[in-house]
Structure 1
Amino acid sequence: MDVPRLAAPVTGPAGRFLAGAGLLVRGLGLYVRSPGLMLLGIVPALISGVLFVAAFATLLYFVDELAALITPFADDWSTGGRSLLRVIAGLAIVGLAGLLAVLTFTAVTLTIGDPFYEKISERVEDRLGGAPGAVEVPFWASLRRSLVDSLRLVAISVLVGVPLFAAGFIPVVGQTVVPVIGAAVGGWFLALELVGAPFYRRGMGLPERRSLLRADRPTALGFGVAVFVCFLIPLGAVLVMPAAVAGATLLARRSLGQPIEES
């Protein structure tokens, strides 16, 4: 399928980044105006949240042992040097785990809550005039394609995360620059993941949505980074996930040149 190339908005990258972040706020507004969907939207994220909190708590409990395991060469160092290196290693492990947790949380939650989030996205589209060119996709076919695309995105994010993990060992840079890069990378993959439903509704898969979001990358990054930061807040992922789905529908419509204002 040929993907239309849309001209980027006149505003500069910073303005488009902020506009992308604003789509999450607007998604929240659209979502809370549908009380019947609110509880259903939170349930899948709550299930995933419990699983991921338990896994992350286990990681934190064993992080000292893991840091020692990956730095055996420091066993003969002085106590101060060894402790400093392993604190940095522990921070790098937690940082990488956090990045991967945010991305895999989205994939798992979208899979668990596919019918609920599809309904939220559909309700948003109906408010904005519907989805031109919508196609009927059987539930199991949609779920299978969504799962395959999610696995592909997670695999790519792991490949990107490994160098970031290594860079986390660099003093100062690893604790300042690397988290910013991690948020940008995580935000991009979150945006790609979350816009899946409205693109599938139009018969378009991962290559098309990647191409369209890339045409206005600052807007996609603004939305994705805003979601990423919210997901780092305790319980943020559970509460924000449904609104992120609604905001992603706005992002998809904007990338396709379709109205995002209610008539």
Structure 2
Amino acid sequence: MGGNPFRGAAYLLRGFSLLTEPGLRPFVIVPLLINISLFTGAIWLLTEQFGQWVDYWLSLIPDWLSFLDWLLWPLFALLVLVLVYFSFGLVANFIAAPFNGLLAEKVEERRRGAINSDSGWRAVLALVPRTLAREAAKLAYYLPRLLVLLLITLIPGVQLLAPLLWFLFGAWMMAIQYCDYPMDNNQVSFGRMRQLLKSRRLGALGFGGLVSAGLMVPVVNLLIMPAAVAGATLFWVEEYAASESAGTDISRR
């Protein structure tokens, strides 16, 4: 597997540093407000249901494994956190997709020059059909794999691996979710985008893994969406853009 997970994770940190740049602030506001609204709902839901959900997962463990409850409780607690925040993150990204596409465009302009000089509400409206179609493609990719993971989670014994599998899956989906914005802006197909991420899979997992972890940290999770869009755009520009523009093969570093 190509890429460097630490280099990948660093793109998210660099994305955070871009949020305060004067030229980007207007394009951060709407995704930020959407994130605040939805994650406030996620926090409320966890406050109301967290204990019941963890107890439900523990009830699926066979009696002969009950002596492992002390170990499984934190694992399933992590699983609940990942599921809730990941699910709310998907909804937030679907709603904010046009704004995220515009933010990715503006970040790339600052690094490579203009892609599209339009801005404002007219530009957002022009992005809506294309970005929602891409979000639908992501859901079509995500849902079958989600069902497989849910089935694995219900298999006795294999359940021990469920939290790790969920985290890896969440990391991969977060890489796909956010790297798709700059790649879509550059007419990279959804299938090609996945191939590019696979060519540097460890870097993608490092980036997506830190995004997934950030979703579970209060306050940080409110800023994670615009930071991840900005970081993923830097990832695209520095790891893929030049080779894709030249039509050359993407190889491991």
Distance (whole Å) between structure 1 residues aligned to residue 212 and residue 152 of structure 2: 16
Match of 2:109 among 126, 146, 171: 126
Query: Normalization by structure 2: what TM-score?
Result: 0.76
> Gaps spanning 5+ residues in structure 2: where?
118-122, 244-253
Q: What does residue 5 of structure 1 align with?
A: none
Deviation of 1:219 after TM superposition, in Å, equals 1.3
Instruction: Tell whether 2:79 aligns with 1:96.
Output: yes
**Offset at residue 226 of structure 1 (A):** 1.4
Residue 130 of structure 2: aligned partner = 142
The count of corresponding residues between Structure 1 and Structure 2 is: 235
What is the TM-score with the length of structure 1 in the denominator?
0.73
Deviation per residue, 1:131-169 (Å, 9 max, x gap): 6699x9943422431331231243144135336635795
- Contact 1:167–1:178 (CA<8 Å) still a contact in 2? no
Cα deviation, residue 241, structure 1: 1.6
Equivalents in 2 of 1:32, 1:196: separation in Å? 23
Aligned runs of 1:186-197 on 2, under 5 Å? 186-197=170-181
1:68, distance to aligned residue in structure 2 (A): 6.6
Percent pairwise identity? 22
**In terms of Rg, which structure is larger?**
1
1:155 maps to: 143
Give 1:58's aligned amino acid.
E
CA distance in 2, matches of 1:205, 1:105: 25
- The equivalences for 1:17-36 within 5 A come to 17-33=5-21, 34-36=24-26
Q: 1:251 to 1:160 in 2, by over 3 A?
A: farther
2:40 aligned with 1:46, yes or no?
Answer: no
8 Å contact kept, 2:42–2:84: yes
Go from structure 1 to structure 2 and tell me whether the alpha carbon gap of 1:233 and 1:88 turns closer, same or farther (over 3 Å shift). Answer: same
- 1:214-235 CA distance string (max 9 Å, x none): 1111211111111111112123
Structure 1 alignment gaps of length 5 or more? 1-7
**Where do 4+ consecutive residues of structure 1 move more than 6 Å?**
131-134
